[in-house]
Amino acid sequence: MRSITHCPACQTQFFVTEEQLNKHGGKVRCGQCMHVFDAKAQFVTASSESEATATDSDSNAAPESPPTVAELNAAEALPPVHEKLTDTTQALSPAVSTSANLNTDYGKPSYFDDAVSKTKLLTKSTAEKSRRWLWVTGSMLLLTLAVMQSVYFLRNQIAMHYPAAKPFLLKACLKMACTISLPKQIEFIVIDDSDMQEDIQHPGVMLLSSNLINKSPYNQAYPSLELTLTDTNDKPLLRRIFKPAEYLAANTNITDGFNAGEEMRIKLAITTQDIAVSGYRLFVTY
């Protein structure tokens, strides 16, 4: 069974049980003002309770000041020095719900917290953009280096298939101390209509004549000529390799190369050193 008592210091009314009253001889502590009083001596009669209810309704209409969190602990029984009190009673004051509302408001995030969260998100977004631009810049740099390396090692093939790019490659090679070589694809160099006869006016001299044709679609380096003289059994007797400067005309620019589709006539005078020669073999080589 519960009874109603009130604090003589602040006039706050509380429910108390028989168990709480019997624990410490009726001594309790007010949860509002922490005043210790005899709950049995401050019991509220039925008429006082109705007046208190009316007073409480008036106070609900126009509260003078917001309640504190301490009103949640309505009344506490006075503990001895060596014992911690755990029993509490509920206050009749209707301000408890208001205190709960205030406490709920305390749990809401503040504008400062929102600003800090937004600042963190902005900082994270800026850092991600910086890392993204760093990766893009690094990737472009690596791609540029890879392209330059490929052009350097494939400069001969580029000049072969794209003749218009050769002047730019030559300028770049002047700064990088490199050279651009002409293609050397021997399968496109063809020997046509070759012949060798003895010079009637000069005994011991053989005259070699032949046609060289460049069947490739691009200029190539001039090949070397390998001539082998044989006997009647087709065994090699003499062999010699002629460089382009030895069989080309004096005014020929060797660096320009053998033009694509060009046909060139070759004439060579060869001494056999009194060796009887009956045949020959002619090859082109690089």
Model confidence pLDDT, tens digit, residues 139-153: 999 999 999 999 999
Closest CA to 36 of 64, 76, 88, 74: 76
CA 126/CA 144 separation, integer angstroms: 27
Q: How are beta strands 224-230 and 279-285 bridged, if at all?
A: antiparallel
Written as one letter, the residue type at 285 is T
The answer to whether the beta carbons of residues 95 and 63 sit under 8 Å apart is: yes
Is the model more confident about 106 or about 284?
284
| Confidence tier at 1 by pLDDT (50, 70, 90) | low
Is the model more confident about 47 or about 210?
210
pLDDT tens digits, one per residue of 50-75: 454 444 444 443 343 333 333 333 44
Mean pLDDT computed over 84-97:
40
Minimum mean pLDDT range among 42-56, 103-117, 192-206, 218-232: 103-117
What is the structure's pLDDT at 117?
A: 61
- Helix ranges restricted to H, 62-199: 95-106, 111-153, 155-161, 166-176
Is the model more confident about 30 or about 58?
30
Average pLDDT of the chain? Answer: 77
Within 8 A by CB and 6+ apart from 267, the residues are 207, 208, 209
What is the structure's pLDDT at 20?
A: 81
**Domain segments of the chain: what residues?**
2-106, 186-285
Give the pair of three-digit tokens for residue 76: 């506490």
What is the structure's pLDDT at 25?
A: 80
| Confidence tier at 125 by pLDDT (50, 70, 90) | confident
CA 187/CA 285 separation, integer angstroms: 10
Mean pLDDT computed over 251-270:
92
Q: Reduced to 3 states, what is the DSSP secondary structure of residue 58?
A: helix
Per the DSSP assignment, residues forming a β-bridge with 212 are 191, 264
Written as one letter, the residue type at 32 is Q
Written as one letter, the residue type at 157 is Q
The answer to whether the beta carbons of residues 229 and 235 sit under 8 Å apart is: no
Q: Tell me which architecture the domain covering 186-285 has in CATH.
A: Sandwich (2.60)
CA dihedral 269, 272, 274, 278 (to 10 degrees): -110
